Structure 1
């Protein structure tokens, strides 16, 4: 897989062209710009690579870089979840964290640095979080090795979610959109 850096307006246009939940940016661009004859050939000869590249418009060479933020994939998956139907904020919050982890598994380890005055917020085991306070109520982030403290009010959960989104690479407008999806009744 290769990655290119694009301006925000172009990114938002591409994301707005999504037709199916979970459709990747590559699928959207392929549909929009590739002639049908090339599309069939590309699918037949496709070889998936795991390296990620950035093409800088000022430089003609290709440079390896960190994985790109997949905010649009997170949003697409969240749309199908009907979050407002989940009455317990902690369950809703764990689901959102799980989806972010699913699409940003390499960057998600950065959340381990998040902490408050007296508490560690994330760890890779329950005991680490229990050791930071008597009422942390740690829970596993579903489908991950990460644990998070859950004994916080909704405002604190929102702040922690903002921090997680920033850690994995969401830009400011994407962070705001994530919070609107997570807790529209509080915005």
Structure 2
């Protein structure tokens, strides 16, 4: 097996093309480059551990008729590729945005007592508080503050998941991915 280096945006694109639980990057690339008939079904993991890493939301109303959920697109390997808490936070938010395109604007309702957490521009977050360190959620038109501590980021992920229709239990599982 050979190792290649790819840029983060390409890696995220490949990960977004996952169709089955446990599908490896090699399987995804083989399918994309060589076609469906070249994918070996034996290469897809179906162990209880691999299946346990994934679940579906308790309700499908927040899934925009998308056949997947965040658990279908995020793996431990994806998260380990992000070296910082902020990177993992932005990555998880971007996957939630991809799965829930039509509803993701609900994040704008999530606010602190004296601070905005999400906005549609960096300026809006900067005007709403000092040292917010706004970052754009990848592949979206939304921005989020990133200077909060990890506990606050986990709370923001939990609230986001609940707003998007996940059960409290699955929202906690998403939070724990951070």
The normalised TM-score by structure 1 is 0.59
Counterpart position of 2:88: 92
What is the rounded CA distance, in whole Å, between the counterparts of 2:144 and 2:76 in structure 1?
Answer: 24
Q: Would you say how many aligned residue pairs link Structure 1 and Structure 2? A: 123
The Cα offsets for residues 98-139 of structure 1, whole Å up to 9 and x where unpaired, read as 000000011111110111111111111111000011200000
Q: Distance in 1 between matches of 2:95 and 2:81?
A: 17
The whole-number CA distance in structure 2 between the counterparts of 1:71 and 1:89 is: 28
- Written as runs of structure 1 = structure 2, the 5 A alignment for 1:21-170 is 21=23, 67-68=62-63, 73-79=69-75, 81-170=77-166
Which has the greater radius of gyration?
Answer: 1
Give the aligned CA root-mean-square deviation in angstroms. 2.5
Tell me how far 1:67 sits from its aligned partner.
Answer: 4.9
The superposition leaves residues 15-57 of structure 1 with CA deviations (integer Å, 9 ceiling, x where unpaired) of xxx5555xxxxxxxxxxxxxxxxxxxxxxxxxxxxxxxxxxxx
Q: How far apart in 2 are the matches of 1:151 and 1:175?
A: 22
Structure 1 residues 179 and 72: CA distance shift in structure 2, 3 A:
farther
Which sections of structure 1, spanning at least 5 residues, go unmatched?
Answer: 1-17, 22-64, 183-187
The answer to whether 1:175 aligns with 2:157 is no
Preserved CA contact (<8 Å) 1:71 1:174: no
- Residue segments in structure 2 that go unaligned for 5+ positions in a row: 1-19, 24-59
User: How big is the shift at 1:178?
Assistant: 1.1
Report how far residue 181 of structure 1 moved. Answer: 2.4
Cα distance per residue 1:146-180 (max 9 Å; x no partner): 00011101000000000100111111121122123
- Length-normalised TM-score, structure 2: 0.62
Mapped to 1, the partners of 2:115 and 2:74 lie a distance apart of: 29
